[in-house]
Structure 1
Amino acid sequence: MGLDVATPDVPELETGKSADEYEDADVQGDEYRRAELQVALEDGAWADAFEEWTAQTGLEERAWDIVTDLGLVREFDFFWDSFAGRVGYHAPGLPEDWRERNIHPAIQSWETVSGINAGLTEFGQVVCDVLADDYIDWEAEEVDADDLPDF
């Protein structure tokens, strides 16, 4: 098991985009901190997460070729959910009407589509976990009540 492919470029996170636009993301907060997440991704979180994911994914190289041919990796989005205190994400995927739209000639089955969508979702979660575990510590930025002035 595993996937032996080159690490793709880090996606460019759109700082002005609302995470509420995604059907697959339940976001309560509105402080997305994408600029800071972009720096963390570029500082190694993306490469670390990709290495971890490729070591355990069941996605095959021909399916990864479809992902790269379609430029799906560029469509990943990561954001801070300030209400939940966690990194959230939107994973790109292939639409349910892939056959009617003739998305890619190498896609011949729903199994391939499902595998790609599941694999990208798993990768998104690995990126979030790596960011949270190894690259960001925004809880440490919270103000200590003892440091507040008395009124």
Structure 2
Amino acid sequence: MSLDVDVPEPPELDAVDPNEYDDAEVVGDTDYKRAEIEAFLQEGAWEDAFSDWAAETKLTEESYRIVLDLELLSRFDFFWDSFAERVGYHAPGLPEDWKERDIHPELESWSTISSINASLTELGQEVCDVLLESYIDWETEYEAPDDLPDFSE
């Protein structure tokens, strides 16, 4: 299945500490390189990843309209995790209490919620993959702490 829609604008990345997200953990001090990643997204990484994702997603056009109505795509976050040498991400999603909160009039089932959340996670991963494969060539130099024991003797 595929989704035949126009590629939306890439998200603007905010300076949020990724450890504040429930679905991300970054170890150690790091430069999240959001400005560089945002530039890559503008230069074509977002379009490449979105097009690849849209060609494979199981998300329906009706569910995608809900994603657009709720402006979920603008709430993606991408950041560099230098410890793991990877692009980390936070995918927006719909909350478990969607029914009580009356988030959108066309949201009617858990399967729609689940499909949207899973599809956004897949899009986030696709963006990370495209960034690493085609845009990012950063080399992280690991500096060992000064207090490590010397076993060379």
Give the structure-2-normalised TM-score.
0.89
State the match for 1:60 in structure 2: 60
Q: For structure 1, list consecutive stretches of 5 or more residues without a partner in the other structure.
A: 144-151
Could you tell me how far apart the structure 1 residues matched to 2:26 and 2:59 are? 28
Equivalences for residues 1-151 of structure 1 within 5 A: 1-14=1-14, 16-29=15-28, 30-139=30-139, 142=141
Looking at secondary structure, tell me which structure has more helix per residue: 1
How far off is 1:31 after superposition?
1.6
State the match for 2:150 in structure 1: none
How far off is 1:142 after superposition?
5.0
Structure 1 runs of 4+ off > 4 angstroms? Answer: none
State the match for 2:148 in structure 1: none
**How many residues are matched?**
141
Could you tell me how far apart the structure 2 residues matched to 1:26 and 1:59 are? 27
Amino acid at match of 2:32: Y
- TM-align CA RMSD: 1.3
1:22-71 Cα offsets, whole Å, 9 max, x none, are: 00112114220000000100000000000000000000000000000000
How far off is 1:129 after superposition?
0.1
Question: Aligned residues: percent identity?
Answer: 60
Could you tell me how far apart the structure 1 residues matched to 2:98 and 2:110 are? 9
Amino acid at match of 2:75: E
Give the structure-1-normalised TM-score.
0.90
Could you tell me how far apart the structure 2 residues matched to 1:25 and 1:66 are? 25
Q: For structure 2, list consecutive stretches of 5 or more residues without a partner in the other structure.
A: 143-153
Could you tell me how far apart the structure 1 residues matched to 2:87 and 2:93 are? 19
Could you tell me how far apart the structure 2 residues matched to 1:142 and 1:89 are? 22
Could you tell me how far apart the structure 2 residues matched to 1:142 and 1:47 are? 30
1:98-142 Cα offsets, whole Å, 9 max, x none, are: 000001000000000000000000000000000000011002x75
